[in-house]
Structure 1
């Protein structure tokens, strides 16, 4: 048995497909994402006026200015409020974007929400990127499906919280509920 166990191949060759998951040139554009770019599909967002927050690993020193979500096959319709927010691992609001109110959100379109104040991460760990859309039709998002946590101390990959949210992110993620659908978020 070797350091690689019973694996006899070259790990770099075997894992080469993962190169499509990250940015092609790590020096070109800084970003952090909660999911790879492969194996994604159309997933349900939270209900109108409910925030969906997803776990996102950030590293000490990262400067986060924007959160980007990508709509799936269903476009938003009759949008009234849209904001994104960054929360600490404890669920405390760090910064939120301006409300994009009725700005259109077409199907299969990335939408970037600029945080009001860029956040310098001072401790590596799990943070939460939240998105709330109030609309007659909330757009679906590009994402994946995640399992419910079952180990002690394990957190939700995706969760919902709040109701009747409009232009302002809640100060905390209060009483989060597990959500099976995990939207892709890209922090830059």
Structure 2
């Protein structure tokens, strides 16, 4: 067995399709994303007043100052509150964006919100990027569907928590529930 297990090819060649997916060079435009840009669709990842958080791998030394989610085919209808937040892998709130209250969020639109303070990552691992929208109609998001974790140590790719949330992110991700719809999130 080699370092690559039973894989006999060149990993750079095998992953070459990712380079053609249009991602900017991370040495030029710093970003971390939880999903590649291919195979994404319109997913119903949100419920009004409930937080959805997506697993996002961040590396030691990264400084995260903003999160981006992208609406899909359905715009936010009569929003009253929405915000983004970054949580540790243990579910502790690290930073939240300002509440956007009733600001419009059109269909097929990337929404980038600055966090209240930049977060310097001190340990590589899974973190959670969260979004909560309270609205008559919540937007659908660009994302994919994922399977429930079944191996010891696997994390949810997406999860929900909380209810009747308004302007403030909860201090912790309490009693997360598996969510099949995984939104794309980009951290910058």
Pair in the same fold by TM > 0.5: yes
| 1:174 and 2:169 are equivalent in the alignment | no
Give the length in aligned residue pairs.
Answer: 187
Q: 1:98-157 CA distances to partner (integer Å, 9 max, x unpaired)? A: 000111111110001110011000011000000000000000000011100111121100
TM-score (norm 2): 0.93
Structure 1 CA distance, aligned partners of 2:14 and 2:154? Answer: 29
Superposed CA offset, 1:64-107 (max 9, x none): 00000000111111010010100000000011000001111111
Partners of 1:59 and 1:6 in 2: CA distance: 25
Question: Given that residues 46 and 139 in structure 2 are in contact (C-alpha distance below 8 angstroms), is that contact kept between their aligned partners in structure 1?
Answer: no
Give the structure 2 partner of residue 113 of structure 1. 113
Name the SS of the counterpart of 1:169 in structure 2: coil
Structure-2 residue corresponding to 1:125:
125
Q: 1:33 deviation in Å? A: 0.3
**Superposition map of 1:124-163 within 5 A:** 124-163=124-163
Gaps of 5+ in 2: none
Match status 1:68 vs 2:52: no
**What is the RMSD computed on CA atoms of the aligned residues?**
1.7
Q: 1:79 & 1:128 partners in 2: Cα distance?
A: 23
Give the structure 1 partner of residue 50 of structure 2: 50
SS at match of 2:12: helix
Where in structure 1 are there 5+ consecutive unaligned residues? none
How far apart are 1:2 and its partner, in Å? 8.2
